[in-house]
Chains A and B, each alone.
Chain A
Amino acid sequence: MRVALFLTCVNDTLYPDTGRAVVKLLTRLGVDVDFPMGQTCCGQAHYNTGYRHEAEPLARKFSDVFREYEAIVTPSGSCGAMVRELYPRMGERARAEGRGDTLARTLAPVVPKTYELTEFLADVLGVTDVGAYYPHKVTYHPTCHGLRSLGLGERPRRLLQAVKGLELVELPGAEECCGFGGTFAVKNSDVSAAMGTDKVRNAESTGADVLCAADNSCLMHIGGTMTRLRTSMRPVHIAEILASTEKEPLG
């Protein structure tokens, strides 16, 4: 199966370890992974901040770069939701504005074959135990777009529960937003920070060493709050936990 890794601009620039972990994990599971060099950004930040017209060329480019692959895998719930939920909406809006079907038709091929990482593992590969080893106490934060737009449900937790050595503890108020929200984090920084602090306090109350999520944007906000509050916990992307083995520990 020829699979493209859509790493996302944030991970490419700031979190290459997550990218390496996805490559390592999928390769271990027998998947032929490619990283198309033409990829950049899905346009989510533009779209959600009110710049839909700036997001359109990025969406078209995404389709150009990825359309030939059998599956597109991304370690980000919100970027995955951008493609799956909002690309069709962009096509509809263009149609409603009298610009015809061109955009909708251009974007249509990539929509159904874009998968968030845990979705790809659970639904396409059908695996629960990915052969990982991670001897830490972990709590899982379901990020909003993965939870509500993609409906990831129990998939990430099931994958984590199957990891050897990992003790999964429930996060109080798990389904409450961490307060990142893209440009919300700076446009409404006081509310965003208050939400982040509450998330970190809840995570601390579990006694876990690691807060795990499937989206590094949220983890950047949570992690930045953790170091500022001088907590001993650390944020780790789920890909790094699932890629970790006894021989080559990660995260």
Chain B
Amino acid sequence: MSGTFVGMPAFPKAAREAVHNTTLRGNLRHATHTIRAKREAAVAEVPDWAELREAGKQIKDHTLRHLDRYLVQLEESVTAAGGTVHWAADADEANRIVTYLVKATGESEVVKVKSMATQEIGLNEALEAEGIHAYETDLAELIVQLGKDRPSHILVPAIHRNRGEIRDIFAREMSEWGRPAPEGLTDTPAELADAARLHLREKFLRAKVGVSGANFMVADTGTLVVVESEGNGRMCLTLPETLISVVGIEKIVPTWQDLEVFLQTLPRSSTAERMNPYTSTWTGTTDEDGPSTFHLVLIDNGRTDTLADEVGRQALRCIRCSACLNVCPVYERAGGHAYGSVYPGPIGAILSPQLRGTGSEVDASLPYASSLCGACYEVCPVAIDIPEVLVHLRERIAQGGPATEQGAKVVLKPAKGHAAERAAMRAARWAFSHPGALRTGQRVASRTRRFHPRTLPGPGKAWSASRDLPALPAEPFRDWWQRTNGGRGDERMSGGSTSGGKDTGK
């Protein structure tokens, strides 16, 4: 399995393989159901959850509305605190900046805090191409990296792996990267954690450069915040001499007071903890304490384009908690890799086609990777109406329309492959606009019902491969209604009278 998502097939095809992989289905089902139940309990004990959710939404919307101002304020605060701010319009620019900064230190390895932004831009691969080794230090990211695998979940990237698989990866791969796994390693969680701890400790103590993302950036003071469970983040943020943080521009909050909301909603939504074990905050540099050099690389990479879209911009409220993944019935069965992006699940289905555009096969298929059941919206701690954005993006794909690409307003053409569907939708709209035509169709269907197959050929197979078709009735309801004068003439109906049989249609 390759380490990137480039050239991924459309969602349905990738999902088909996952659905039939019983080990994967079992791993995902167990993990998502466990965390789903825990989250529900952790949220239920907060009496003002609805208010916190609304506050989180409003803080994010306000910040996004004034993002230009807050970004400038953040740059000033970070600079005043001794940091250096870099601006990157896209992934390539961000990778170039980070590579340059690492090379300037003379080092050829970096330790990394778990970060979605650096995965989004493919930083590890870019550094590797320049001879710089990036070591992931989050336990699950380590498993993914050692296994030459791809992450399949935002919070638990190795959710698709079970203990036995992890043991095998450690035993086989650790020696390639540094300290080997202990002899006779078993698959007990304590032994696996100990093996990872020993392997990583060597890296922490040696590294001169740390690379991180951030969960939040406080514009007012220039403070960055990382929320984590393992303590590896704290090591990477404090031990190296140089710290480089790569952060999406939407991660700003105006003040420390705003953090109060998210530091309550994020841990409960993601790990179902009342409070996460480690919350690290740093403001520029401090003499004799922590890194002496701090760089902040702010990345756009499609965010400004997303912000320009009235319906789609709510996706930028996301705080990457992954509650929507854990509750999603489609994610549970398709797994994270099918989404072809570091952002899987419902949030990925609305984020990837906006950040990357709908040009690729997988991106154009993502808005359809949902039954629109709404469970994601229900659990989202910043109230992103994911079904609304999915339908909005379906419209963009099926019908085309206005969008923003690299800062320019464009009018997109309908995506290829939707011509037959478009024609069918138009025909259905015509029939539904003419009740007479609909009725004729219903009657023909009912009267020929003896000849209808229970399974369908061609595209209809998509239905009938797993489901029987319903039997057609002898007559549609409207014929019965007219024939029996609204049921009064039907011996099966009794009691009371109905107004029956009036044709009030137009």
Q: Identify the A interface with B (CB < 8 A).
A: 2, 7, 9, 11-17, 19-20, 23-24, 27-28, 30, 32-41, 43, 45-55, 57-58, 61, 64-65, 89, 96, 144-145, 148-149, 175-177, 179-197, 220-221, 223-225, 227-228, 247-248
Chain B residue at minimal CB-CB distance from A47: B391
A9–B432 CB distance below 8 A: yes
The distance from the CB of A193 to the nearest CB of chain B, in whole angstroms, is 4
B478–A35 CB distance below 8 A: yes
- A175, A192, A220: residue with the most chain B Cβ atoms closer than 10 Å: A192
Residues of B near A247 (CB, < 8 A) are 494
A223-B470 CB under 8 A given contacts A37-B505, A50-B391: yes
Residues of A near B505 (CB, < 8 A) are 36-39, 65
The distance from the CB of A187 to the nearest CB of chain B, in whole angstroms, is 5
The distance from the CB of A127 to the nearest CB of chain B, in whole angstroms, is 15
A149–B374 CB distance below 8 A: yes
Q: With contacts A20-B490, A38-B505 known, what are 6 further pairs, Cβ within 8 A?
A: A37-B478, A49-B421, A50-B394, A52-B395, A64-B506, A181-B370
A34–B504 CB distance below 8 A: yes
Residues of B near A46 (CB, < 8 A) are 425, 428-429
CA distance A51 to B397 in the complex (A): 10
B52 within 8 A of A: no
B391–A181 CB distance below 8 A: no
CA distance A175 to B378 in the complex (A): 12
CA distance A72 to B468 in the complex (A): 32
Residues of A near B482 (CB, < 8 A) are 37
Chain B residue at minimal CB-CB distance from A197: B466
The distance from the CB of A51 to the nearest CB of chain B, in whole angstroms, is 5
CB<8 Å pairs between A and B, sample of 29: A9-B432, A9-B438, A15-B473, A20-B477, A20-B490, A24-B487, A27-B496, A27-B498, A35-B481, A37-B478, A38-B504, A39-B505, A46-B429, A49-B394, A49-B425, A51-B395, A52-B399, A54-B429, A61-B433, A144-B375, A177-B371, A188-B12, A191-B15, A191-B19, A191-B369, A221-B467, A224-B463, A228-B468, A248-B492
> What are the nearest 8 A-B pairs in CB distance?
A38-B505, A181-B371, A50-B394, A224-B467, A193-B466, A177-B373, A50-B398, A16-B477
CA distance A106 to B268 in the complex (A): 43
Residues of A near B425 (CB, < 8 A) are 45-46, 49, 51, 54
B373–A144 CB distance below 8 A: yes
Residues of A near B374 (CB, < 8 A) are 144-145, 148-149
B2 within 8 A of A: no
Q: Identify the B interface with A (CB < 8 A).
A: 11-12, 15-16, 19-20, 25, 310, 329-330, 333-334, 367-375, 377-378, 388, 391, 393-399, 421-422, 425-426, 428-429, 431-433, 435, 438, 442, 445, 459, 462-463, 465-470, 472-473, 475-478, 480-482, 486-487, 490, 492-500, 502-506
A2-B371 CB under 8 A given contacts A12-B478, A14-B473, A50-B395: no
CA distance A177 to B296 in the complex (A): 43
A58-B435 CB under 8 A given contacts A20-B492, A220-B470: no
Residues of A near B369 (CB, < 8 A) are 188, 191
A96-B310 CB under 8 A given contacts A36-B505, A186-B459: yes
The distance from the CB of B303 to the nearest CB of chain A, in whole angstroms, is 21
A28-B496 CB under 8 A given contacts A35-B481, A48-B391, A49-B398: yes
CA distance A46 to B87 in the complex (A): 42
CA distance A181 to B370 in the complex (A): 8
CA distance A27 to B333 in the complex (A): 44
CA distance A183 to B422 in the complex (A): 13
CA distance A35 to B502 in the complex (A): 8
Residues of A near B367 (CB, < 8 A) are 50
B368–A34 CB distance below 8 A: no
Chain B residue at minimal CB-CB distance from A42: B432
The distance from the CB of B37 to the nearest CB of chain A, in whole angstroms, is 11
Contacting residue for A228 out of B372, B421, B466, B500, CB 8 A: B466
CA distance A49 to B399 in the complex (A): 10
Residues of A near B502 (CB, < 8 A) are 34
CA distance A186 to B459 in the complex (A): 8
A32-B499 CB under 8 A given contacts A27-B493, A38-B504, A49-B425: yes
Residues of B near A191 (CB, < 8 A) are 12, 15, 19, 330, 333-334, 369
CA distance A38 to B284 in the complex (A): 68
B493–A23 CB distance below 8 A: yes
A184-B473 CB under 8 A given contacts A35-B481, A225-B467: no
Chain A residue at minimal CB-CB distance from B493: A24
Residues of A near B462 (CB, < 8 A) are 185-187, 189
A27-B468 CB under 8 A given contacts A38-B506, A49-B398, A184-B368: no
CA distance A184 to B463 in the complex (A): 10
A39-B435 CB under 8 A given contacts A16-B477, A180-B371: yes
